[in-house]
Amino acid sequence: MNPIFALLCLTLLVAQFALPRRYAFAPLLVAVCHFQNVPVIQLGVSFSIFKLVIMAGLLRAWAAGTLGWSNRQQVDVLFALWACWMILSGFAHHPKDHNPMTIRLSIVYDFAGAYLYARAFLKNQEDFLRFIRCLAFVVLPLALLVLVERAIHRDLYGVIGGGIVDPEVRGGRVRAAGPFGHAILLGTFAATSVPLILALWRRHSRCSFAGLVACGLIVVCSASSGPILTLLSGLLGLAVWRWRTSVGRIRTLIILGFFALQLVMEAPVWYLMARIDLAGGSTGWHRAELITAALKHFDEWWFIGTDYTRHWISYGVGWTQYHVDLTNAYIYMAVTGGLPLMLCFIAILVKTFQMLGQGMRPMREAKDPDEFILWCVGASLLAHCFTFLSISYFDQNIVILGLVLGSVAGLCAVCPDTSRAGGDEPWPEDGADEKTLAAQGS
């Protein structure tokens, strides 16, 4: 291991315990944005730096008594059900080109671990705004290094961490990936971060502007259509802010619009993805064909998933002989654990949207301008839901998603509607030390 990389990893782990609680999220944010997903230590399984930071953070929260989970919080319960089925369904799968239990435990650790991490350290609106402000600062050096990668055709994150060094080139364009697993995933991270960073605009306009510019540059440097469409979906969600009281009617019109398109199109409506190519070389047809294939072979995966999808499409991928490229997060969940796992995953997203709506209602009645913060979180989650149709997260993006989902309970905790529905009790204002938090938790 590169000594510089080892020293940086050690610094993050020390910082996870040394920083005051109000900035305890910073080490994980730095880890997911500036470290490739490469093994740091081997304990039977590989632990990357962000896995180690999650472990350190959860240990710190457990010791302080601030590890948040409640069976009255519906998203907490759904996460538990999702994690249990993800693991239990693995016993029905056979190891072929990988150990199914190792993969599943890693996914549960990253997603549910990040969720619990956020529940421990993002307890209220001020915590969340500090988190987003830190995100805006963290993406600035990321954008700079991605620009360097595009210019010199060399990934400096890979040079330091011992991961992938040479970026992909398609159509003469460098597709920068930075510390992420693929250029699309780098761009997706930046695109889904735009609505979050925009939430800072009213209080920290300069910081917000700098973060937005950095995210825009990262999306461009990824040279991929998916992140551009993801960014547009998030911006569309933000644009509906003016008509937020009519979201139900807008949703109905969109559904009716898709039905109308289905009536006039010869192919299913999802084949619209095949016609979109904003960056050149798009594989939208594959993503549409994958949905068709999954529906056609529903009987193979509906209960507990399947170990073989290679026959779904006429071509395969180089890294496995048993599957096609599962570039759809919903279908990936279905193949991994069947319809129960996919529905649990969707239910987590749906319930989170409902919590945000419940939290916004009393704020709207009180004319609280911070209602826009919750709307921005919803726009970011909308962008995630949209991009799940074209990509399945296999790197640190799933940690970012878990952090955002875990922050919603704290954002909505002070809202009457949400607390009656099983939300958490409000936590002390920023600056309270961990003994105070532990005392309140007891």
Check pLDDT > 70 for residue 417: no
Asked if residue 404 lies in contact with residue 377, where contact means CB atoms within 8 angstroms, the answer is yes
Q: Grade residue 281 by pLDDT with cuts at 50, 70 and 90.
A: low
Q: Which of 35-49, 214-228, 301-315 has the lowest mean pLDDT?
A: 35-49
Q: Grade residue 280 by pLDDT with cuts at 50, 70 and 90.
A: low
Check pLDDT > 60 for residue 429: no
Q: Which of 115-129, 333-347, 396-410, 419-433 has the lowest mean pLDDT?
A: 419-433
CA atoms within 13 A on the CB side of 227: 29
Tokens of 106: 């890693």
Q: Which of 233-247, 337-351, 414-428 has the lowest mean pLDDT?
A: 414-428
Per-residue pLDDT tens for 226-240?
899 999 999 999 999
What residue type is 340 in one-letter code? P
Q: CA dist 247 to 250, 352, 353, 355, 410, Å?
A: 5, 16, 12, 15, 23
DSSP code of residue 390:
T
Check pLDDT > 90 for residue 346: yes
How many angstroms separate the CA atoms of 415 and 359, rounded?
5
pTM of the model: 0.90
How many angstroms separate the CA atoms of 371 and 382, rounded?
17
Q: Grade residue 241 by pLDDT with cuts at 50, 70 and 90.
A: very high
Q: At what angle do helices 183-198 and 225-239 cross, to 10 degrees?
A: 20
Per-residue pLDDT tens for 97-112?
778 898 999 999 999 9
Q: Which of 63-67, 68-72, 109-113, 385-389 has the lowest mean pLDDT?
A: 68-72
Check pLDDT > 50 for residue 435: no
Q: CA dist 401 to 23, 208, 325, Å?
A: 19, 20, 22
pLDDT at residue 74 in the model:
93
pLDDT, average across residues 14-40: 94
pLDDT at residue 279 in the model:
59
